[in-house]
Every structure is written in structure tokens, then in C-alpha cells.
Amino acid sequence: MEKMPTTNKKLIDWVNKMARLCGPERIVWIDGSEEQKLALEKESVANGDLIRLNQEKLPGCFLHRTAHDDVARTEHLTFICTKKKKDAGPNNNWMRPQAAYQKAKKIFKSSMSGRTMYVIPFSMGPVGSPFSKIGVELTDSRYVVLNMLIMTRCGNAVLGQLEKNDNFTKCLHSKAKLDINNRLILHFPEDNTIWSVGSGYGGNVLLGKKCLSLRIASFQAKKEKWMAEHMLIMGIEEPNGHVEYIAAAFPSACGKTNLAMLVPPEGLKKKGYRIWTLGDDISWMRVDSDGSLWAVNPETGFFGVAPGTNSKTNPNMVETIRKNTIYTNVLLKPDNTVWWEGADGDAPAQGIDWKGNPWKPNTTDSEGKIIKGAHPNARFTAPIVNCPSASFRLEQHHGVPISAIIFGGRREHVAPLIYQSFNWQHGVFVGATMGSELTAAQVGKLGQVRRDPMAMLPFCGYNMAEYFKHWLNMGKLMAKPPKIFHVNWFRTDKAGKFLWPGFCENLRILEWILDRCNNKVNAMETPIGYIPYPFDIDMTGLKLSENAMDSLLKVNKEEWLEETKGINKFFAMFKKDLPKELTDELEALMERLKGYGQ
């Protein structure tokens, strides 16, 4: 065995023990240096893990292809392993820790034979910040190492922290045989441990991301009285130069990444607005000594969905991914650049598709279905600092103060464009009941609502009824809690056409939100919360069809009464663990609706 670059006994013992289990040929410690990264890229290209892209057009960029059945997070193979089943809650798959370790050990046994085991010390959050948590990931995948180097702060600076502190999340990953029948993503929150085996897909294997920063961190956050949330963080610089920060949670496919880095529309640009991006996926928030909630993004990169990304939907991301980016499962063009459905420009006349096969537009498979060039969940991994709107406060140890929390979903009807909760407790109810209608891309009945509280259903590492209690308690710890809002960019007219243009125009709604936070405008009280007076939304340079704003802001009594039935059904899954405050809020909503004229 090589000499260990640390004196931390707990770390050394654990690395040795895991090496005995997995049987790698050698162990390499990731130091965070440019030389080591370049060497790993070179090796990955040599063994076919990565394809080096056109270095003139896409400097520092690579393409990776996953196994065909390893293209997304596998929720049915993801488990929370707590001693008591109840602690995982009805929202998680559960396994007894001993049984889970035994089952996974059989797959890990000698899985790294003939391979290198990389040791990646990483910090989620700025190194040394009181907000941050340290993890160490052991992996036999160079692709994982190169992605972790983009997504987290890793290397010797983190090892330095571990000279003073024994507290780190033990993360073990092996590709093993990339076999879906021998794939497990296991979380042991009581042991501060994550074991992932049999997959090479980002969400399953970049263990700092969903596994540590949401599932394990949410469990720790409850104990330590802070919040680990599935939220973007952005700053909005007002015309007077003052920057206000917001955090927002949306289920997938609702435009979270696009919102995090929007470019102000022409009409508002004149006013001098500017957006500062801190993160597009995860927010860790703590109450600071001023009684406000402060947030950091624990990550340093974006792991975003490529299809649909273009200069109209997200011009800043198009800039971000021009260099030092790893593309996964996109189409390779003959000039060694990349393409995906919904990219700028026309489809190329030919290319190599995400499976590595020759591809031409509009070719069909044996069932007559169009073969896509890129997988619908094709991704890019890119450093936040590449983003033209990257915030200058990314490294600040205390983060940024949050003025507003925004929840959102995809609803054709029911939810208006924007409403504000009455107070923190009501805001928790709004977040706990948010949901999206299923689209054609998902399995299930079209239009059926899938509840996804705070967009955390797949990521909350413990019983969600306890998570709701935690949210309620956090409100009590803050002298100045953020105001809570709900948005819906997806409301449609009778013909099924979107009433609101979305994308950069969403800034108009953020402007109203900040005006509410700063007590600059009044609002109309409705049974569901406060909604804007239409004249308080700045529509300079944007013309909607007639009556569209009225339809966008309408609160329909019948639809909402129906909604309360769905909420009731959803709440039932938590049985008597559901905090009484939430049933009280539901009853109060029903009462207010009953007395509401149309």
C-alpha cells in the first residue's frame, strides 16, 4: 500500500478496510492539482471512458457515454437504512442497516480488482466554513473523480481540515459490473455513510450531491437545527445596486436551472436589474446572529439537463458550457462538437448518437419511434465560475441572506401565477402540498397531480412528517424569517396554450416578490394567500393576450375545493405523525374557501 497523505487514523483505517473489501490494484489520493486532473483526463481518453472534444471550439471539454440502462437516478434502488423503519418514513425505501451492508458487501467484494481506487476528500461548502461538511469518496471511476473535481472543492485543502477534525461522511462507490440487477444506492444516516454500487450515472455516484448534500445533510440538519434544501439560490440586483437573495424549490422539469441564471428581459433591463447566480440545485441554510436565514450552495458546479438548453431558454448556460465541461450522453457531431434535441441551430445531417451508433435526423427504430441523438436526460457538468452571472459571493463562509423562499409546480389550472403565504406556518403548508401535473414524459395518468413537498420527496433522508415539523420549528428560531411564495409559470387557457411566456419574463414576478418583502406594494387577500394587483406587475415591453392576467391570477373556488381533497389524501400517508399545524392549515383553507364568492 502507498503512503497515506494524512495522519487522520479514522480515515486511514477506513480507507484500508474498504480497500480490503473491494480489492483494488492500487490506491490514488486526489490532491486537487491541475497536473493530476490533466493526467486523469489523458488516461480516461486512452481507455475510452472519455472522448476529447474539439479543443478549439470546446476547450477542456469531453464526452462520456453511460451504459444504456444507467441514464438516470434509480429511486427504486435507493434506500435509507435506519435502525427503525419509522425513521425513514413512508417517503423512503427502507432496509435494515445490517441487511443492507451484507447485501452490498457481496457486490463490492473484489469489485475493484485490477482497477485503481481513488480517494477523493471533498468539502460541500467553502473549505473551513461553519456551513460546510466534509466527505471522502472512494471510487473506481475516473469519470466520478473528474466530475467531483467540477462539482465540489476537493483535494489537499480538505485533507488539511481532516487533520483537525474527524467528522466526515464515508462515501464508497464502485461501478462493479454496472449491472442494474446488482445496483444499490444506500444511505446510513446514523453512521454518516453512503454506499453506492453498480451504477455510473451522476445522481447515483457523485455522492456529494443528492446523497450527501440532501439525504444525509437533511438528516443532520434536523439534528443541528439548519436546513438542507433542494433549492436554487440567486441574487437580484435592484436598480439602486442593492442585491436581495432568494431560494426556490421546484420539482424537476419546471425550469429551476433557467430561473437561477435568467437574463433580464429588455423591458426591465432598462431599469438596471442584474441577476447573480449562486446555485441551481441545493441550498444549505442557517439562522445567523442577525435572526435571518443565510444560504450557501454546497456545490461548485452545475450538473444540468442538456436537451432544451439553448440561447433562448438559457443564454448564460450556453456560455457556461463552452469550456471545461463534461458532457454525458449527448450526440457527437462530425466536427467533434456536441448537439442535443432543443439545442441552438438545426439538427446536424449526421452524427453519433448517445449510444455510440451512427445517427441521422428522423430515423426510426423497429417500432417506428424517432431515435433521439441525445438521451432526454443527457447532462453537462460545468463549473459555476464559468457562468457569466456567477455571484461574487460564492466563497463567502456565511453565504447570503435569504429574503424570500419560492415554491413552484407545473399546474395547468388551480395555482395562480403567483401568491404569497400569510405567514411562515401557512408557507410551510404551501410547500408541503406543492405538486406538479404529470406530463407526457412521465408514467401515469396525464394531468394527475404528483405531490412533491418542497421538491424533496426523493431526497429527504428521513420521515417527511418529521421534516415538516422541522420546517415549522425553524420558523420559530428566526426573528426575520423569509417570506414564502408560490409560483406557477404553466397555467394554460381553454385551448391549452400557456398564458405566461415564462423564462426571462419571470423576473417581473420576482420583482413583485421583492416589493412584497420590502413592503412596497399592497396585495389582494384571497383564501389561498395574497395575490398581486395586476397593475403592480411591471409589464413594460411585454404584451399578453386580453384578460390573460386576470386568468393567470384567478383563484377558482371549485378547483381549490377539489384541491383540498387531494391534499387530504396526500396527508393521510403520514398518519398521526403529520404535525397538527398542517391539518389546521388545511381546515382553515377549506373554511376560507367556503366563504369565498367567485
Q: Does residue 41 bind Mn ion (CB under 5 A)?
A: no
CB 407 within 8 A of CB 418: no
Integer Cα distance of 122 and 374 in angstroms: 31
Distances (CA, A) of 149 to 31, 34, 40, 123, 163: 10, 10, 11, 11, 21
Beta bridge partners of 174: 197
Q: Does residue 41 bind ligand OXD (CB under 6 A)?
A: no
Among 252, 310, 311, 556, binds ligand OXD (CB under 6 A): 252
Residues 396-435 interacting with ligand OXD (rule: CB under 6 A): none
Integer Cα distance of 248 and 234 in angstroms: 9
Instruction: Select the binding partner of residue 353 from ligand OXD, Mn ion, none (C-beta < 5 to 8 A, by kind).
Output: none
User: Shortest gap between Cβ of 89 and Mn ion (angstroms)?
Assistant: 20
Q: Does residue 299 bind Mn ion (CB under 5 A)?
A: no
Would you say 203 or 235 has its CB closer to ligand OXD? 203
Residue holding cell 449491472? 179
Q: Return the C-alpha cell found at 51.
A: 472522448
Q: What's the gap between Cα 517 and its chain centre?
A: 25
Integer Cα distance of 584 and 459 in angstroms: 26
Instruction: Select the binding partner of residue 93 from Mn ion, ligand OXD, none (C-beta < 5 to 8 A, by kind).
Output: none
Q: Does residue 156 bind ligand OXD (CB under 6 A)?
A: no
Would you say 41 or 299 has its CB closer to ligand OXD? 299
Site string for ligand OXD, 60-79 (x = CB under 6 A): -------------x------
The beta-strand segments (E) located in 528-594 are 529-531
Integer Cα distance of 33 and 27 in angstroms: 17
Q: What's the gap between Cα 490 and its chain centre?
A: 20
User: Shortest gap between Cβ of 280 and Mn ion (angstroms)?
Assistant: 8
Integer Cα distance of 239 and 496 in angstroms: 36
Q: Does residue 281 bind Mn ion (CB under 5 A)?
A: yes
Site string for ligand OXD, 191-230 (x = CB under 6 A): ------------x---------------------------
Integer Cα distance of 214 and 216 in angstroms: 6
Would you say 299 or 341 has its CB closer to ligand OXD? 299
Residues in the chain: 598
Number of residues that bind ligand OXD (CB under 6 A): 4
Among the listed residues 154, 254, 387, 504, the single catalytic one is 254
For every residue of 538-553, DSSP letters joined together read --TT--PPTTHHHHHH
Q: Return the C-alpha cell found at 285.
A: 441554510
Instruction: Select the binding partner of residue 203 from Mn ion, ligand OXD, none (C-beta < 5 to 8 A, by kind).
Output: ligand OXD
Q: Is 517 a catalytic residue?
A: no
Residues 297-336 interacting with ligand OXD (rule: CB under 6 A): none
Residues 275-294 interacting with ligand OXD (rule: CB under 6 A): 281
Residues identified as active-site: 254
Q: By the criterion CB under 6 A, which residues form the site for ligand OXD?
A: 73, 203, 252, 281
Q: By the criterion CB under 5 A, which residues form the site for Mn ion?
A: 281
